[in-house]
Amino acid sequence: MSEPTVARINVDALRKPSSSGAKIRLHVARCNPRDPADVPRMQTYELPQTEGMTLFMALSEIREEQDPSLQFDFVCRAGICGSCAMVINGRPGLACRTLASSVGPDVTLMPLPAFEVIGDLSVDTGKWMRAMSERLQTWVHMKEVEVDFTRIEERMEPDLADSIYELDRCIECGCCVAACGTALMRKDFVGAVGLNKIARFRLDPRDAREDAEFYEIVGSDDGVFGCMSLLACHDVCPKNLPLATQIAFVRRKMAAAGWK
């Protein structure tokens, strides 16, 4: 099998040594699940800390100059795609939005738990998110069976559109799942990301589903009643989504639907 292509970035353009001459040491979890002989281990890399250096930049420099076999994910480098999420000194976060100076000089990097490890810091959040999305049917269930493409789009009050947009800002990074004790114990728990999506589609007036139908998909211990209000999800969400209020809201609505 051919090796995956490694994206190249211009590390020279990023190199302006910090005036203090500081070094950063990354202690990185290494593993290759595709190699039966591989032994998971920690590996330390040291490099000069440059001004404004993020952990993503440090990892890229290591891959360019010290160890091309190091695996980690990124796409946008701007906190938008969610690919670079990892556990940084014990706390899930985005490598591209974390300044090395804020977590160094010694930084421990681990892959997000709860997701399948592809290698080193790279995990398959996509597989998990897709399964969650199919299970919760995270798309608008239109009232009409036939879609009329000639019809003018339905009006929506700006405040309501803003409220939906607020919840739609989720980038599916997986940090909330990795930080959640319930998600780590209960493999089928839909996580804060899933409950946030239910809150989002419940708000949407174009979605024909009633609370009784939402109850069918999240009114269980794998859904909203499995949440123990640990709130780590709320603390780590890099997009600052209002997860605590949304989960509490969904719980109240589902409890009411369950009594009916």
Q: Which residues bind ligand SF4 (CB under 6 A)?
A: 170-176, 192-193, 196, 237, 239, 241, 243
* CB contact burial 79-101 (16+ within 10 A = b; e otherwise): eebbbbbbbbeeebbbbbbbebb
Region from 27-35, 45-53, 69-77, 210-218 binding ligand FES, contact rule CB under 6 A: 69-77
Amino acid at 209: R
Residues across the chain: 260
Interface residues toward ligand F3S, by CB under 6 A:
179-180, 182, 192, 227-233, 247
**Residue 22 makes contact with ligand FES by CB under 6 A:** no
Q: Report the run of H or E that residue 22 belongs to, with start and end.
A: none
Residue 229's binding partner among ligand SF4, ligand F3S, ligand FES, none (Cβ under 5 to 8 angstroms by kind) is: ligand F3S
Pick out residues in 87-116 that bind ligand FES (CB under 6 A). 94, 96
Residue among 24, 72, 27 nearest 47 (CA): 24
Residue 232's binding partner among ligand SF4, ligand FES, ligand F3S, none (Cβ under 5 to 8 angstroms by kind) is: ligand F3S
Dihedral angle over CA of 186, 38, 28, 94, nearest 10: -50
**Peptide bond before 205: cis, by omega within 30 degrees of 0?**
no
Give the nearer residue to ligand SF4 in terms of CB position, either 62 or 85: 85
Can you tell me whether residue 202 is helix, strand or coil?
A: helix
**Residue 79 makes contact with ligand FES by CB under 6 A:** yes
Residue 77's binding partner among ligand FES, ligand F3S, ligand SF4, none (Cβ under 5 to 8 angstroms by kind) is: ligand FES
Integer Cα distance of 212 and 209 in angstroms: 8
Binds ligand FES by CB under 6 A, chosen from 59, 84, 178, 247: 84
Residue 239's binding partner among ligand F3S, ligand SF4, ligand FES, none (Cβ under 5 to 8 angstroms by kind) is: ligand SF4
Integer Cα distance of 106 and 35 in angstroms: 29
**Residue 257 makes contact with ligand FES by CB under 6 A:** no
Can you tell me whether residue 165 is helix, strand or coil?
A: helix
Residue 237's binding partner among ligand FES, ligand F3S, ligand SF4, none (Cβ under 5 to 8 angstroms by kind) is: ligand SF4
Give the nearer residue to ligand FES in terms of CB position, either 71 or 182: 71
Residue pair 85/125 in contact (Cβ under 8 Å)? The answer is: yes
Give the nearer residue to ligand SF4 in terms of CB position, either 67 or 166: 166
Starting from the edge strand earliest in sequence, which strands make up the sheet with 91-94, in order?
41-48, 23-30, 106-110, 85-88, 91-94
Residue 61's binding partner among ligand SF4, ligand FES, ligand F3S, none (Cβ under 5 to 8 angstroms by kind) is: none
Report the interface residues with ligand FES, using CB under 6 A: 74-77, 79-84, 94, 96
